[in-house]
């Protein structure tokens, strides 16, 4: 995991102390996780086109959260929520872990912001790599493959990075994704390349494209 990350012992201590001190309090509040409403990732006064855009691209929500919390804090929560899953077998951990992954990797416009990519997007991929390395195979099968969430969010990221206009960001994230691709192959997962996903998207678009009928 990241340098000076949270150890399993630290996580257990947090879990035990919070559970003892906060009986009757919602689990997410006990762990002081950042509230992330991933389904409402657009401004309250958003126009219909903005609602459509930011429902798919979580960049607006991520920027708003980053105005209140630093990237390092979000990475710490990503580490802690994963350890809460492993050590505490706590449902709150997996839900917050998934929301953070969706928030960061689902922010498309953010990919053009080199500073955020270097301080948050790339580091969260490195942490994810370490987390998956530490997982027993059965844990990956029972938890991380639930709803095919990890595979789908990574596929979306690969395609978005493929379409990214920032060459340095593209090179950085392609390198991180390559490390993940090698590891995932060991779990029997296949993570296609950006060009493969683009071809797949183009084929699907062609299948559902309006047909011109000559009269």
- Whose tokens are 């912001």? That residue is 113
**2 in a structural domain:** no
* Beta carbons of 116 and 71 less than 8 angstroms apart: yes
pLDDT tens for the 215 residues of the chain, in order: 444 455 555 555 544 544 444 444 344 556 688 899 888 887 788 778 878 877 889 999 999 999 999 999 999 999 999 888 887 666 778 889 999 999 999 999 999 999 999 999 999 999 999 988 887 777 776 666 667 788 889 999 999 999 999 999 999 999 999 999 998 888 788 899 999 999 988 887 765 555 555 55
* Beta carbons of 127 and 78 less than 8 angstroms apart: yes
**22 in a structural domain:** yes
What's the confidence (pLDDT) of residue 1? 44
Structural domains of the chain, count: 1
The DSSP call for residue 147 is G
> Smallest Cα–Cα separation from 97: which of 212, 41, 158, 105?
105
What's the confidence (pLDDT) of residue 211? 57
Distance between CA atoms of residues 120 and 117, nearest Å: 5
**124 in a structural domain:** yes
- Whose tokens are 């009928």? That residue is 213
What's the confidence (pLDDT) of residue 19? 47
CATH number at residue 149: 1.25.40.550
**65 in a structural domain:** yes
**55 in a structural domain:** yes
What's the confidence (pLDDT) of residue 148? 78
**214 in a structural domain:** no
What's the confidence (pLDDT) of residue 118? 97
Distance between CA atoms of residues 100 and 123, nearest Å: 13
**212 in a structural domain:** no
Q: For the chain, what is the largest distance between any 2 Cα atoms, rounded to a whole number of angstroms?
A: 75
Q: Residue 196: give the domain boundaries.
A: 8-207
> Smallest Cα–Cα separation from 39: which of 51, 31, 49, 50?
51
What's the confidence (pLDDT) of residue 26? 47
**70 in a structural domain:** yes
């Amino acid at each position: 995991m990241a340098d000076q990350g949270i150890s399993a012992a630290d996580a257990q201590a947090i879990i035990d102390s919070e559970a003892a001190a906060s009986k009757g309090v919602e689990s997410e509040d006990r762990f002081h996780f950042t509230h992330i409403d991933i389904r409402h990732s657009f401004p309250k006064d958003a126009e219909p086109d903005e609602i459509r855009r930011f429902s798919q691209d979580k960049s607006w929500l991520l920027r708003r959260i980053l105005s209140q919390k630093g990237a390092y804090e979000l990475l710490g929560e990503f580490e802690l929520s994963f350890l809460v899953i492993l050590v505490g077998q706590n449902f709150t951990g997996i839900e917050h872990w998934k929301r953070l992954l969706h928030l960061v990797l689902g922010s498309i416009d953010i990919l053009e912001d080199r500073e955020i990519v270097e301080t948050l997007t790339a580091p969260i991929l490195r942490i994810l790599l370490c987390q998956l390395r530490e997982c027993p195979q059965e844990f990956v099968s029972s938890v991380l493959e639930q709803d095919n969430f990890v595979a789908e969010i990574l596929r979306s990221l690969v395609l978005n990075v493929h379409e990214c206009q920032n060459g340095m960001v593209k090179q950085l994230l392609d390198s991180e994704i390559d490390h993940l691709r090698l590891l995932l192959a060991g779990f029997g997962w296949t993570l296609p390349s950006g060009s493969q996903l683009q071809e797949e998207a183009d084929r699907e678009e062609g299948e559902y494209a309006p047909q011109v009928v000559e009269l």
